[in-house]
Structure 1
């Protein structure tokens, strides 16, 4: 099976929320249930992707991710939102709503 490239991942019609995290990061562990609930609420309206920064140093470096967690939302291949630190569910919903 061919591996999906990052560009293929972010080029879809659905917004893609990417959580850059590290297994050793305390705030990342607190953020995970927030993202899971958001995905449950929005279902097929968005795609949730988690990227472990320690296992994916190339993409992490390419995108300049330095703090964990870092959240990015892409839509049709374009970066629409980026923030470091834990984001509130409402902030994420508001950002995703702008794209629909």
Structure 2
């Protein structure tokens, strides 16, 4: 969990995608997240977290639905949503939190 704290404690927005390889909505988000990362560039980060490999973290954050997306900035969660999202929505949200 301390590694997670370091990961989210950044001055740029961090978009976390909690997913699994076997969940169809999760895999459908892969190209969307690539588009978001390309649009944001170095003003933010997109990080994918496989809940099957990070069960303790997923439980601590109460991940129930997949995919679950969260945006952190400065160590604080500023947005959270479960289910598929479109690239334009995510890009707009990330841009809101760029310093």
Normalised by the shorter chain, which TM-score bucket? over 0.9
- Structure 2 length as normaliser, TM-score? 0.93
Aligned residues: 97
CA positional deviation for 1:89? 1.2
CA positional deviation for 1:49? 0.8
CA positional deviation for 1:93? 1.6
- Structure 1 length as normaliser, TM-score? 0.92
SS at match of 1:5: helix
Query: 1:30-73 CA distances to partner (integer Å, 9 max, x unpaired)?
Result: 11000001101111011111100011001100000011100000
Extract structure 1 runs of 4+ deviating beyond 6 A: none
CA positional deviation for 1:94? 1.9
SS at match of 1:19: strand
Distance 1:26 1:49 in 2: 18
Alignment of 1:4-23 (within 5 A): 5-23=3-21
Distance 1:37 1:95 in 2: 14
Gaps of 5+ in 2: none
Which residue of structure 2 lines up, in the alignment, with residue 42 of structure 1? 40
Gaps of 5+ in 1: none
CA positional deviation for 1:81? 0.6
Which residue of structure 1 lines up, in the alignment, with residue 97 of structure 2? 99
SS at match of 2:42: helix
Which residue of structure 1 lines up, in the alignment, with residue 60 of structure 2? 62
Which residue of structure 2 lines up, in the alignment, with residue 28 of structure 1? 26
Which residue of structure 2 lines up, in the alignment, with residue 79 of structure 1? 77
